[in-house]
Chain A
Amino acid sequence: MAAEILAEGVCYRYSQAPDMALKDVDLRIRKGEFVAIIGPNGSGKSTLAKLFNGLFVPTKGKVTVDGLDTRDRDNVWKIRQKAGMVFQNPDNQIVATVVEEDVAFGPENLGVPPEEIRRRVDEALEIVELKDFAQKPPHLLSGGQKQRVAIAGIIAMRPDYIIMDEPTAMLDPVGRKEVINTVKRLNREEGKTIVLITHFMEEAVEADRVIVMSEGYVIMEGSPREIFSKVDKLKAIGLDIPQVTELAHRLRGRGLTIRNDVLTIDEMVECLCPLL
């Protein structure tokens, strides 16, 4: 059985919509990968995410999670246990009045025995670095902290895949960094497969692989360096590029010898020093 999420020829149409929101998408998310999906609003990113754990079922084509077909209703619970989802608004995802109870909600529903729940909750809060907040009411936490509680709730269900639909869109820069650091740790230390949907390029840069969506199609796929070197193409579909990447691109256009895949300030300093 393949350890991957596989989308083959996937189309999806919302009821009553005239057009397909997703068109012939073929994608493979391998276990252990950190994949970022970027694209403007309405490009199909969120739709795709919801197809990955069976919240939506393809209108055409198929999605399998570790070989389990999402169209088969008997697979739904198995799939949701394998692939957890984190959404944009932390306030909509928190159900309990105490942090640890919120984290326990998922495993409780899975029928996990109480001692095991205790163990999982402690471990999950440890991973998102909120152990000291276990007894706090969630409404007293910051946005970034609340989003980490939501992530802990998913971790406690022990999924292999965590799919995040713009988890930082409503957070301030501090909250965003907290969440992204947590995401990186989940991938690198806990071995979780991450699918991160985001508008923030500085987050996409952290991924192993970037997928670019536009108007329902996957239009580009590659390492962050490969993707962000295509400055003109990204701009044309209305996406941001890191400022230094754009600057490098412009300076190359003016005849300076600079790599076309600069992503960070330090790399840019390195490129420029011999020229200045």
Chain B
Amino acid sequence: MPIIVKNLTHVYMPGTPFESVALRDVNWNVEDGEFWGLIGHTGSGKSTLIQHLNGLLKPTSGEVIIDGVNINERGVNLREIRQKVGLVFQYPEHQLFEETVEKDVAFGPKNLGLPEEEVTRRVREALELVGLKYDEIKDRSPFELSGGQMRRVAIAGVLAMKPKVLILDEPTVGLDPRGRDEILRQIVRLREKQNMTVILVSHSMEDIAKLVDKIAVMHKGRMVESGTPRQVFKNYKALASIGLDIPQVTHLMIKLKEKGKNVATDVLTVEEAEAEILRAARGKGHA
């Protein structure tokens, strides 16, 4: 389900002393099945942008076209759009409210008016997609789970709606490294299994560099970069000037290159850096 964002501008509280432009003329094409990382600082417009993708916010000007439909046109059923575009907010566990995990995850599909067996089937499937065992966890209170588990239950609640596009706003914030890696692994698996389009909003280049197909960088309401991680990291000086870090290993290779060493600089992971340095060292007869 392709998403096209065209000349999107959003102004908060226009015509008041608090008027502020959150998005300026953003253009963005997300192809079916792509995995995007959306990066930028707090206040750069990332959250405002994603809230346009399921109609939570309306553009001040410009268009959001999902699956060929301009979602802000009169007569468009936003409920349908929100079912297709699932949005997982920051700290989604704060939105858990039911007595049991099963009831919480079932809340969305029940509201769709689905028959009970279908609801149960979806709840089971959604919980298993996020790596939780349905039978073990369904009757527990969501509030007695660990932080990482609560977050996965909250994500399952969105998955139970069977969205075609999954947008996650900082899904790993506040988790420890193990919790973070677990969530990221689940997202990768999900995408492979369900062939979903995924947009991952993040502060961390190191986390997403190795996962996503493409990165879009927001700065002061504009989309200042977009492309594959390798393309985007080439402009590391531009990224640094807006205070965004590239992965440490990418930075290392660039510094080696600047010292006149014959190494490729487009590495994204520790493994790639290892291979590239070994190659160069062998050329010099070391290793």
Contacts and interface: CB of A to CB of B under 8 A. Distances in A.
Interface in B229-287: 243-245, 247-249, 251-252, 255-256, 259, 261-263, 270, 273-274, 277-278, 280-281, 284, 286-287
A199 B180 CA distance: 11
A272 interface: yes
Interface residues of B, number: 40
A269 B256 contact: yes
Contacts of A251: 274, 277-278, 287
Interface string B168-180: 0000011111110
B147 interface: yes
A247 B270 contact: yes
Contacts of A246: 270
- Max chain A CB contacts within 10 Å: which of B146, B147, B244, B277? B277
Contact of A247 (B176, B178, B243, B249): B249
A239 B248 contact: no
B42 interface: yes
B256 A272 contact: yes
B174 A242 contact: no
Interface string A228-249: 0000000000111011101100
Nearest to B278: A254
Contact of B281 (A174, A243, A269, A275): A275
A204 B241 CA distance: 25
A75 interface: no
Contacts of B219: none
A199 B204 CA distance: 14
Interface residues of A, number: 35
A41 B255 CA distance: 35
B262 A276 contact: yes
A170 interface: yes
Given A247-B274, A265-B255, A276-B262, 11 more contacts: A172-B42, A173-B203, A173-B204, A243-B249, A246-B270, A247-B273, A251-B278, A265-B252, A268-B252, A272-B256, A275-B287
Interface of B: 41-43, 146-148, 173-179, 203-204, 206, 243-245, 247-249, 251-252, 255-256, 259, 261-263, 270, 273-274, 277-278, 280-281, 284, 286-287
Interface of A: 40-42, 88, 142-143, 169-170, 172-175, 199, 238-240, 242-244, 246-247, 250-251, 254-257, 265-266, 268-269, 272-273, 275-276
29 contacts: A41-B175, A41-B176, A42-B146, A142-B42, A143-B42, A169-B174, A172-B41, A173-B243, A175-B42, A238-B177, A239-B177, A242-B248, A243-B270, A244-B248, A247-B273, A247-B274, A251-B278, A254-B274, A256-B281, A265-B251, A266-B255, A272-B256, A273-B256, A273-B261, A276-B256, A276-B261, A276-B262, A276-B277, A276-B281
